[in-house]
Each structure stands twice: as C-alpha cells, then as structure tokens.
Amino acid sequence: MPKSTKTITDEVLKSLKILDDLSQNTAKKDPVKKGAITISKETKELKKALNALKDDIEFFKQAKEMGTEAYQKIKAGEINNKEKEAIINFINNCYEDGGSIKDNYLEITKDKLLEILETFSKDVDEYILTLNQKLKDIDGRIVSEIDAHNEIRKDLLKEELEEEDKALEDINVNSNKFDQELERLELLEDELSLAVIEQENQDQIENVRNLIKQR
C-alpha cells in the first residue's frame, strides 16, 4: 500500500489546523470589529498555507520528473553505486517516516530499483492529487472568509452610517431646541421692553398728576 509522501514545510500542517478550527468557529463570529480583524488575520494564514501547498506541489512534480529520468536511465543501461545511493536517499527523504528502503544500496538489484521507482512515481501522483484537493479546499475557504469579511465590513459601515445619522439627528434636535430657546428669550426681551415702557408711561402719568395736585 502506498505511503503518504511528506510535505516539505511544517507551515502547511500548522495552517491546516487553523483551517479546521476556523471552520468550527466561523458560525460563532459576531459582526464586530474584533471579528473583522480576526478574519483578516486568518485569511492571511490561509494564503500562507496556500503558498506552502503550491511550493509542495511544485517540489513533488520535480521529484517525479527526477524519478522518471532515473527510471529511464536505469532501464536503458547500468547505474553505478554512487548514483544508486543518491536515488535511494532522495526517495527515502520524500517520505515522512524516512522511507521503507532499508536494504543496503549495494544489495539492491537493477530490477528492484526499477520497482522502487515505479512505486515512488505512483505515491507522488497520489500525493499531488491530495495536495491539489487541499489547495482547492483552502482556496474555497479563502474566498468564503473574504466574503464573510466583506459582509462584516458592510455591517460595520452600516453601523457607522446609522451612528452618523443618529448624531446628525441629535444635532438637529439640539439645533431646534436652541432655536426655540432663542425665540423664547426674544419674546421675553420684547415683554420686558414693553414692561419697561409701560412703567415709564405710568411714571410720567404719576408725575403729571402730582404736578396738577401741586397747582
């Protein structure tokens, strides 16, 4: 049974763990600034994982090409011990458990090495398919996260606009109150002026009466 070929960066596994946590927690996020910042940060992590996977896929494509070249060279002729050792070490290093080729490279026959290379080629093909599927999953999640982030930003913008509208409404209310108070003060001023005039008139009338009495 083919073994899983290892990824060449730990960032992918770390980021895939973030993906799993993210998928479980996405529904719990509230449309608040903290949520928007969190999603933005997670989107960056997802993009980092995406780039790491792309690097891995490119690495294993090159590994398969090298394996194919070695296979064709061995099948066409002989291979020296130094080349044999280099091929076996390379294949073993492409497996997360260090590879299954434990025999002394000097004891591995040409046919056995061809068989090992065939198995390696199949393993790499399967693993590239797995990586491509993960690539699609991460890409889809990035799109979902960006959409969610944009929705949150819309909600935040709506909140801010509502707050601005409320502030403008408060300003208008206060402005109306100020106008009403100003109008009231103007009326009081008019009433006071009339009262002063009336008092002056009364004083004049009283003065005239006093003058008449004196005569």
Residue 174, in any domain of the structure: no
Cα-trace Rg, the chain: 43
Residue 175, in any domain of the structure: no
Span of 135-144, 167-176, 198-207 with lowest mean pLDDT? 198-207
Residue 208, in any domain of the structure: no
How confident is the prediction for the chain on average, in pLDDT? Answer: 71
- Res. 13 pLDDT band, cuts 50 70 90: very low
pTM for this one? Answer: 0.52
Report how far residue 114's alpha carbon sits from residue 18's, in angstroms, rounded to the nearest whole number.
Answer: 40
Residue 91, in any domain of the structure: yes
Report how far residue 15's alpha carbon sits from residue 51's, in angstroms, rounded to the nearest whole number.
Answer: 11
pLDDT: which is higher, 151 or 118: 118
Q: Are 71 and 121 in contact (CB under 8 A)?
A: yes
- Res. 136 pLDDT band, cuts 50 70 90: confident
Alpha carbons within 13 angstroms on the beta-carbon side of residue 20 total 5
Reported for 174-179, long-range contacts at CB under 8 A and 24+ positions apart, including other chains, are: none
Residue 114, in any domain of the structure: yes
Report how far residue 2's alpha carbon sits from residue 90's, in angstroms, rounded to the nearest whole number.
Answer: 17
Q: In the predicted model, what is the mean pLDDT of residues 87-101?
A: 73
- Res. 4 pLDDT band, cuts 50 70 90: very low
Expressed as residue numbers, the domain containing 28 is 10-165
Residue 131 DSSP label: H
Please report, to the nearest 10 degrees, the dihedral formed by the alpha carbons of residues 63, 64, 68, 73 taken in order: 10
Q: Are 64 and 118 in contact (CB under 8 A)?
A: no
Domain count, the chain: 1
Q: Are 151 and 31 in contact (CB under 8 A)?
A: yes
- For residue 94, pLDDT over 70 is answered with yes
Q: Nearest-CA neighbor of 59 among 9, 126, 118, 16?
A: 9
Residue 215, in any domain of the structure: no
Q: Where are the alpha helices (DSSP H) in the chain?
A: 10-25, 33-76, 81-93, 110-214
If phi > 0 it is left, if psi is from -120 to 50 it is alpha, else beta; for residue 173 that is alpha
Residues in Cβ contact with 48 at an 8 Å cutoff, skipping those fewer than 6 apart: 11, 15
Residue 205, in any domain of the structure: no
- Res. 208 pLDDT band, cuts 50 70 90: low
- For residue 91, pLDDT over 50 is answered with yes
What percent of the chain is predicted at pLDDT more than 90? 0
Residue 211, in any domain of the structure: no
Q: In the predicted model, what is the mean pLDDT of residues 57-85?
A: 83
